Structure 1
Amino acid sequence: MIIVVAKSILMRIIILIIFTGLLLPIITTPATVHAASGAISCEFSGGNSFSFGSLSIGSTATTTASAKYTCHLQDYTPGVNHYANICLSSEDAPPFKMQSNGDSEGNVYTLLFRVYNLSDPAQELQQNDNLMQQTIMLNTDNTTVGGTFNLRGVVPAGQNDIPAYSYYNYSMTMRIRWNTETSTDALASCQSGQAQNSVTNGGNTQSSASVSDSCAIQSVTNLDFGLLEASTLRQQTTKASAQIQARCPLGTAFSLGIDNGSHANGNSRQMCNGNNRCLNYTLWQDSSASMPWGNTANVDRVDVSSASGSAQSFVVYGEVPSGQAVNGDGIFSDDVVITLTY
């Protein structure tokens, strides 16, 4: 049986970057006083849950979900627009928990996951800090207005100490808070800690995952050669390293192979920029660059036996050979496919 897991290793080289700036005068304007806004009422109106599907012990998984809401004015003044900042938070602190049903001895196990803003992957769903924010306008005709928070759920890799079971969270509670004004300039942000009112979804968000005991590539770090100058590339070999983390059940023999990448020239790996200017690079199993890392069985794959059933780390050593003339600058990159065979 062969599992092929595509992971992107970003080989990044920036030859030259020049920034120029223009200092502009700072112009200030007098503050404007805005009229008080009318009250609004909001509620959760639906959405979907986090279904992570099947994953191997210790591996990562991602999925998407949503939280929908609707709002309407309670204090309506014809001809006056009202604006609202809608703020999403959780009643529990991350990481969130999915739990197994009890086994024959009554033991219950926990699988952790985190939730992020789909449009801003760095923003995590929290209890009271860094709340997710959307701004809506409630029309002068008093129409009900709705919105959707699109979310990304992530099961972090490395949870190796849990058994193969199904895991659930049946009652994840989210909260929306809001502030209203007749001008967006006067609106209090979600980060201000202010809220005119709030409501929860009653714990109606669910999550699920099925964990199996099989082989998986759990994570791959980027192979980054950093910021280089053309003279450096001509005169010396540049080195960097990345890491692959993989896991197989106890006693399983497996191998790891790496293909020649998306810009290969025959058997030579290449990184290329947006103008199709390329640099040769090589991947090795050892720091002395004596054993190449490829994807041919019994030749240049890494052969392993899982002695403990725990996750194992493997270092990928990369080199950009010297003597290369660079005709172009920018970010040079390549994507390679890592194959786990067992």
Structure 2
Amino acid sequence: MTLSSHFSPLRSQNICALALIFSCLFLVNSARAQNAQLAEPDSKTLVVEDAPEMNVIAFGKTVIVRKRVKDVFSWGGDVIVEGTVSGDVAVLGGAVIQKEGSEIAGAIIIIGGAYRPETVAPKRGPDAETVVFGMFEEEFREMAAEPSTILAPRFTASFFVQRVFSALFWFVITLLFVTIAPGAVSRSITHLRTSPLKVLAVGSGVLIAVLALAIVFLQALPDHLGAILSLMAFLLLMLAYGFGRIVLQVSLGKWLIKQALAERKMPEAAAIFFGVLAWTLVLSIPYAWTLAVFALFAAGCGLVATVRPSNAWRRQD
């Protein structure tokens, strides 16, 4: 089965969170091996000869598999398979190039790149999965080349343009969600204000538990089933992140308006605008944005796990 998706880059923080989660899931059972089967002809290339039990991990390098290897992970570089990969191939910000006569028995997972087989019917394992998200390729390559930019991005023109588009995107999404489900947002804001520590504590536990389950799925289940369940867990976390961000943006926007204009009412769109702007600024602060992203994930997971449905839904049941 092949899954493919293409999106435009919106936020470097979301990109980093995506990369960190994805890397943890793949690297949990791997270790970078150093022996005679590995060669580095230059600073940008890693050549693997015959290492059937080796898990190869590379950052900012193109990996070339000459004969045999077990698993391959590359962040910011391509993977060129000339021989046989008995396990999985995963790439962040690069392409998987499968040469004629080569074989990839396990899953191919690509975020920010493409799968490029040189034959019409490349040799794959039975029921092998191919998951491709064609987004953020340049961002992943830049992060691999300069890891310091992950925590402290450079304040360039593209950085500010990206923040403007991000703020616009989240303003539209938040406004639509508040219009469609005002009750859910209102209940979540009330619950967050009355029990913030409970929400964050429960959300942190849920976040860690879901990541742990995803890791167990990858280790204990067959490749295709583990990949599907882990991807589902990741998508659930991203949905929780989106919901948590929407709620926190509206909540912060209302609080800011209340502090500035204590007795004057403002339209809901104004609260959303100021909340989105404030969170965009917070998520642009070097190093501090990592804590903010964790808080958004924790808040989203906590709200989903603890907020009760409305009485109207209960009566219908």
Q: TM-score, normalization: structure 2?
A: 0.25
Determine which structure has the larger helix proportion and give its number.
Answer: 2
Q: Between Structure 1 and Structure 2, which shows a larger proportion of strand residues?
A: 1
Larger radius of gyration: 1
TM-score, structure 1 as length reference:
0.23
User: Which has the higher relative contact order, 1 or 2, with Cα contacts under 8 A spaced 6 or more apart?
Assistant: 1
